[in-house]
């Protein structure tokens, strides 16, 4: 049982690291995108990189 718990904890750590890597990759992609927004009066979303911004502040 302890071995299974260790495997799960290890996998969780790997997945968290992968998530952080993907978040950084997405942030870089969105930062370099030439945005084309669509949306409504409250939100706009880029059709290329899916970055969303609120129009209501």
Mean pLDDT score across all residues of the chain: 95
Kindly state the average pLDDT of the residues 1-7.
89
How many distinct structural domains can be found in the chain?
Answer: 1
Q: pLDDT tens digits for 21-39?
A: 999 999 999 999 999 999 9
Residue that has been written with the tokens 């930062």 in this structure: 31
Does residue 1 have a pLDDT over 80?
A: no
pLDDT of amino acid 33: 98
Phi-psi region of 50 (alpha: psi -120 to 50; beta: other; left: phi over 0): left
- Which range of residues forms the domain containing residue 24? 4-54
Q: Which helix (H) or strand (E) holds 33?
A: none
Q: How many whole angstroms separate alpha carbon 23 and alpha carbon 15?
A: 12
């Amino acid at each position: 049982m302890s071995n299974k718990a260790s495997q799960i904890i290890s996998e969780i750590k790997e997945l968290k690291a992968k998530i952080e890597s993907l978040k950084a990759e997405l942030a870089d992609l969105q930062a370099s995108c030439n945005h084309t927004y669509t949306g409504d009066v409250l939100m706009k979303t880029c059709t290329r990189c899916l970055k969303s911004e609120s129009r209501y502040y």
